[in-house]
Chains A and B, each alone.
Chain A
Amino acid sequence: GEDVEQSLFLSVREGDSSVINCTYTDSSSTYLYWYKQEPGAGLQLLTYIFSNMDMKQDQRLTVLLNKKDKHLSLRIADTQTGDSAIYFCAESRFTGKLIFGQGTTLQVKP
């Protein structure tokens, strides 16, 4: 089936690390993505990971993939107030179709 699940809300203090989690059901997923959406805006691609990788790091962002448990996480180091947004996890196969989670609202308190 096609299902991607995320927790709905996360609150952290500025300077702390944030970890946003996601689970998916389709073991044939090829790519997994993290997108960020700010109010009134479209989706900004933050990072993606191919399904044969288990980790990817890009500056303050670290993506961990546990393919056995179908679990994906996004860690944001040194979280800033500008990181406040909705974060979407998405998965795909070679179909041109992305399946999105419901989105996690990240609130960063000063």
Chain B
Amino acid sequence: KAGVTQTPRYLIKTRGQQVTLSCSPISGHRSVSWYQQTPGQGLQFLFEYFSETQRNKGNFPGRFSGRQFSNSRSEMNVSTLELGDSALYLCASSLTTENYGYTFGSGTRLTVV
């Protein structure tokens, strides 16, 4: 069974640009969450989607947004990139929103220059 797939694996963008990251959950999983990992702040929750609805949102500015499609695939978008947005962005999927067995993807490493 395929795991959680995140694309692209690596990305370099310039300040002010926008970026879209993609996450394909494990087949049958309906909940997708996004996390930002940086050396300074550690792992921080961005948002969670279930059946195309955002169920929970972390403390990030409005430049960070996401969505989930009917096939459970999810995208997150960051507009007007800042240097501080450089991070590893991790996606996790689960069967439901009940918290057991969240499976993480390998992440997208975003570098903003």
Contacts and interface: CB of A to CB of B under 8 A. Distances in A.
B63 interface: no
Given A95-B56, A96-B56, A45 B45 contact: no
B102 A100 contact: no
A92 interface: yes
Interface size class of B (residues with CB under 8 A): 20 to 34
Interface in B83-113: 90, 92, 94, 97-107
A98 B102 contact: yes
B90 A94 contact: no
Instruction: Summarize A's interface: helix, strand, loop or mixed.
Output: strand
Contact of A98 (B6, B33, B50, B107): B33
Given A97-B45, A99-B45, A100-B43, A45 B97 contact: no
A30 B99 contact: yes
A97 B33 contact: yes
B31 interface: yes
A42 B104 contact: yes
Contacts of B100: 31, 48, 50
Contacts of B101: 45, 48
Given A42-B90, A43-B104, A45-B103, A94 B43 contact: no
Q: Which 6 A-B pairs have the closest CB atoms?
A: A96-B48, A100-B43, A43-B104, A92-B99, A42-B104, A42-B106
